């Protein structure tokens, strides 16, 4: 098949949607399909050959983050040209309500279109206000996908219709790294991965827990990986704790796997705004026990706490107590490690790609999948039962 994929966010900025789009493109290419990805681009020297630029991105605050998107007449012209040149069997747009290339693609052609909804919030005023304006474009979507039940419920509330739940995927075999001696703590190693300049990722919560962690385990090591400036986080630490925290900056795939494999505990102290939890799956794929904020998305990925420990979001004392208890309980960590390794294969691209291809093939034949009666509308119900 000839497949066009539209990402609304800059591929040069780390993020769950961007990572998903890149992995999806690689999976489709490996399966022998022709793939072109349209996305905003900041660094033209670093883009893969299958990416076409929709223009340079600008930062727009959204959902506790800064989304780097592109829009305007020049972007519209590039989108139309890409669609005409591609002659695609199906176009897969991500985050179609975002003011960027995805919604422009829906405005610019007749389809067939598949759309994936990634975002979750309790209520989105922006989405509610824009629903009427966007409806003519959204009605062109032949099949809707949500990455989680939370994202699906938000889509139903604000957009209407139905969607199949196909979660974000990962290549599980890419997380078989090797521990690095210089990253190991004699009293345990804790890791966190996320953008340091986004408060909702909760780095400050973990930094506030460090003094108590160090008091109980003086040689504990905390590894912090992710893009952004570490100065503010470092200033939060008392002087006698700073040697216990190692800021790694942005890491490549190999370093990320090495960090996770060498950790006794992965902490996800996010404060909200998460629709899924791909970082939890990455830790599980590496065999690392997970301690995460009790957010709806994280609770779903961790099966209510059976695949990882949950703590009250933003509660430093709760995080500290649970982290110290797990570090003192190697048998419990082994149980979490085994449970995570057993659960994570169902999120591998080898499992998810056939589900996506079934959607593509349906819409390319002229079928529509936005109603509950569609074949994968029933598949969504089956997946929901399996996830419980």
Which of residues 63 and 186 earns the better pLDDT score? Answer: 186
Beta strands in 123-213 (DSSP E): 141-146, 164-165, 189-193
pLDDT at 62: 58
Q: What are the residues whose beta carbons fall under 8 Å from the beta carbon of 151, sequence distance 6 or more? A: 117, 118, 119, 120, 275, 276
Place of tokens 């003086």: 218
**Confidence category of residue 289, pLDDT binned at 50, 70, 90:** very high
Nearest to 180 by CA among 255, 244, 253, 246: 255
- CA 175 to each of CA 13, 90, 279: distance values in angstroms, whole numbers, following the listed order: 21, 31, 12
Instruction: Look at residue 24 and tell me whether its pLDDT is greater than 60.
Output: yes
Structure tokens of 377?
């509308």
Question: For residue 59, what are the β-bridge partners?
Answer: 68
Beta strands in the chain (DSSP E): 2-6, 34-39, 51-53, 58-62, 65-69, 90-94, 113-117, 141-146, 164-165, 189-193, 221-225, 245-249, 265-268, 290-293, 309-311
The 10s digit of each residue's pLDDT in 98-130 is 888 999 999 888 879 999 998 765 445 555 545
Does residue 316 contact residue 306 with C-beta atoms inside 8 Å? Answer: no
Question: Can you say how many angstroms the Cα of residue 66 is from the centroid of all Cα atoms in its chain?
Answer: 15
pLDDT at 161: 74
pLDDT at 376: 35
Instruction: Look at residue 200 and tell me whether its pLDDT is greater than 80.
Output: yes
Instruction: Look at residue 43 and tell me whether its pLDDT is greater than 80.
Output: no
Instruction: Look at residue 44 and tell me whether its pLDDT is greater than 50.
Output: yes
Instruction: Look at residue 133 and tell me whether its pLDDT is greater than 90.
Output: no
Nearest to 368 by CA among 46, 176, 122, 140: 140
- The stretch 265-274 carries a mean pLDDT of 92
Which of residues 128 and 72 earns the better pLDDT score? Answer: 72
Cα angle value 256/261/263 (rounded, 5°): 95
pLDDT at 13: 77
pLDDT at 41: 86
Question: For residue 247, what are the β-bridge partners?
Answer: 224
- The stretch 6-24 carries a mean pLDDT of 88
- The stretch 184-207 carries a mean pLDDT of 92
**Confidence category of residue 377, pLDDT binned at 50, 70, 90:** very low
**Confidence category of residue 388, pLDDT binned at 50, 70, 90:** very low
Q: Residue 211: phi, psi to the nearest 5? A: -55, -40
- CA 135 to each of CA 8, 96, 230: distance values in angstroms, whole numbers, following the listed order: 18, 11, 42
- The stretch 2-6 carries a mean pLDDT of 97
DSSP state of 369: B
pLDDT at 91: 97
Place of tokens 């009605």: 139
- The stretch 231-247 carries a mean pLDDT of 93
Which of residues 58 and 327 earns the better pLDDT score? Answer: 327
Q: How far apart are CA 271 and CA 269, in angstroms?
A: 6
Q: How far apart are CA 267 and CA 193, in angstroms?
A: 8
Q: How far apart are CA 192 and CA 276, in angstroms?
A: 17
Instruction: Look at residue 369 and tell me whether its pLDDT is greater than 90.
Output: no
Instruction: Look at residue 372 and tell me whether its pLDDT is greater than 60.
Output: no
- CA 101 to each of CA 27, 72, 106, 356: distance values in angstroms, whole numbers, following the listed order: 22, 9, 9, 21
Structure tokens of 88?
């695609």
Q: How far apart are CA 9 and CA 100, in angstroms?
A: 8
Instruction: Look at residue 189 and tell me whether its pLDDT is greater than 50.
Output: yes
Span of 59-63, 151-155, 269-273 with lowest mean pLDDT: 59-63
pTM of the predicted model as reported, rounded to 2 decimal places: 0.85
Instruction: Look at residue 383 and tell me whether its pLDDT is greater than 50.
Output: no
Does residue 298 contact residue 292 with C-beta atoms inside 8 Å? Answer: yes
Task: Report all structural domains of the chain as residue ranges with CATH numbers, in order of start.
Answer: 2-169+348-387 (3.40.50.2000), 173-344 (3.40.50.2000)
Does residue 10 contact residue 57 with C-beta atoms inside 8 Å? Answer: yes
pLDDT at 59: 64
Question: For residue 246, what are the β-bridge partners?
Answer: 223
Q: How far apart are CA 102 and CA 348, in angstroms?
A: 25
pLDDT at 329: 97
Which of residues 60 and 56 earns the better pLDDT score? Answer: 56
- CA 277 to each of CA 214, 232, 295: distance values in angstroms, whole numbers, following the listed order: 28, 25, 10
**Confidence category of residue 378, pLDDT binned at 50, 70, 90:** very low
Output the average pLDDT for the chain.
86
Place of tokens 């990402």: 7
Does 112 sit behind a cis peptide bond, omega within 30 degrees of 0 on the bond before it? yes
Does residue 159 contact residue 138 with C-beta atoms inside 8 Å? Answer: yes
pLDDT at 38: 95
Q: Residue 226's CB: how many other CB atoms inside 10 A?
A: 22
Which of residues 197 and 345 earns the better pLDDT score? Answer: 345
Does 24 sit behind a cis peptide bond, omega within 30 degrees of 0 on the bond before it? no
Instruction: Look at residue 385 and tell me whether its pLDDT is greater than 50.
Output: no
pLDDT at 227: 84
């Amino acid at each position: 098949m000839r497949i066009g994929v539209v990402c609304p966010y800059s591929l040069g900025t780390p993020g769950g949607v961007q990572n998903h789009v890149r992995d999806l493109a690689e999976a489709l290419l490996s399966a022998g399909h022709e793939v072109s990805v349209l996305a905003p681009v900041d660094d033209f020297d670093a883009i893969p050959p299958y990416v076409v630029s929709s223009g340079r991105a600008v930062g727009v605050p959204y959902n506790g983050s800064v989304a780097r998107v592109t829009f305007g007449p020049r972007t519209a012209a590039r989108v139309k040209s890409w669609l005409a040149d591609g002659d695609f069997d199906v176009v897969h747009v991500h985050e179609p309500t975002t003011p960027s290339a995805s919604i422009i693609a829906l405005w610019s052609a007749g389809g067939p279109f598949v759309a994936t909804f990634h975002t979750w919030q309790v209520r989105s005023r922006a989405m509610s206000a824009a629903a009427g304006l966007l409806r003519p474009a959204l009605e062109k979507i032949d099949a809707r996908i949500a990455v989680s039940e939370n994202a699906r419920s938000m889509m139903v509330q604000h957009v209407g219709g139905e969607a199949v739940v196909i979660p974000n995927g990962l290549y599980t075999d890419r997380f078989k790294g090797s521990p690095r001696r210089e990253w190991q703590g004699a009293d345990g190693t804790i890791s966190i991965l996320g953008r340091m300049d986004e408060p909702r990722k909760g780095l400050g919560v973990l930094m506030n827990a460090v003094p108590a962690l160090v008091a109980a385990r003086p040689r504990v090591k905390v590894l912090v990986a992710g893009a952004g400036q570490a100065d503010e986080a470092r200033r939060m630490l008392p002087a006698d704790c700073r040697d216990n925290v190692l800021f790694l900056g942005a890491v490549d795939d190999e370093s990320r796997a090495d960090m996770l494999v060498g950790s006794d505990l992965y902490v996800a102290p996010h404060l909200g705004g998460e629709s899924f939890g791909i970082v939890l799956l990455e830790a599980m794929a590496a065999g690392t026990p997970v301690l995460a904020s009790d957010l709806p998305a994280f609770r779903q990925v961790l099966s209510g706490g059976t695949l990882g420990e949950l703590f009250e979001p933003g509660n430093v004392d709760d995080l500290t107590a649970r982290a110290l208890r797990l570090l003192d309980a190697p048998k419990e960590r082994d149980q979490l490690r085994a449970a995570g390794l057993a659960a994570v294969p169902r999120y591998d691209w080898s499992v998810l790609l056939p589900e996506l291809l079934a959607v593509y093939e349906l819409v390319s034949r002229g079928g529509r999948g936005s109603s509950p009666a569609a074949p994968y509308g029933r598949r969504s119900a089956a997946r929901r039962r399996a996830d419980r």
